[in-house]
Amino acid sequence: GNGAKENTVHLLKLIGKTKLGAWKIRNVSRVQGAPRLVFDISAMPSPTGDCVVLIIEDVTDRAALEQRLIQHSNETKLLLNVVAEAKKYYEGILEAMADALFVASPNGIVQTVNSAATRLLGQHKGELVGSSLDALMNTAPLLSFEESVRNIETTATSKELDAIPIAVSSSFIENDTRRHIIVVARDLREKKHTEAEIEKLRTQNLFLQEEIQSTHNFQDIIGKSPAIRKIFKQIEQVAAL
């Protein structure tokens, strides 16, 4: 066909230029009804320069292997991109959490935290990763990490060693080789402050109710006493003069 003629003409031109230097090309045979063949064609001038050494090598199998390797490489890159995007997506979710998240090894060594954990304890991620959960919070409610718990109140320890009230929930994830502890801690300081304010208002309300009741009882006593009523009447008469 026309393609074969064009390749032949191109090849003859290259052969004609071989005296100027060696060359190598790859040619693909696309004959209808025949298997696809791939050839590497190389040429170089002879030492005497009066002829051309032409080498034709069948590299069909090698070319197919190279094509498969390129395809696998592209698929691997695509898969890595998907994994990277998925990791970025889930990390974004963890960072958006309002509650502190700790991922720890089976023996309680912190491996990963989110930004809420750093805000809760006043420490950088680098300070928290590698620490023991026991050093960061009272882990007794976690039952030695043997089973999941939910919304158990305990305390965490800030960088300044202040006790921070928290509610913790824990669970586990497992892969083929090891188990990981997931601990979510909710900051209860605002809740505790609100509860204290409500209790303060409730106490003040009870005190006011008692004061009102005492005043009402005193007025009843005054109103029922003839002697007191006589004194008030005399005061009113003097005031009228």
pLDDT in tens, the chain (241 residues): 555 445 555 555 655 555 556 667 777 776 677 677 888 878 777 676 677 777 888 888 888 888 889 988 888 888 888 888 888 888 788 888 889 999 998 888 999 999 999 999 999 999 999 999 888 998 776 655 566 788 888 999 888 888 999 999 988 888 767 788 899 999 999 988 888 888 888 888 887 777 766 665 555 555 556 666 666 566 656 555 5
Structure token digits, residue 205: 């309300």
| Residue where the block lists tokens 């030695």 | 144
Rounded Cα distance between 145 and 178, Å, is: 14
CA-based torsion, 188, 190, 191, 193: positive or negative: positive
Tens digits of residue pLDDT in 152-173:
889 998 888 889 999 999 888 8
- The secondary structure element, H or E, covering residue 152 is strand 149-157
Residue 75: Cβ-neighbour burial (10 angstroms; 0-12, 13-18, 19+) = exposed
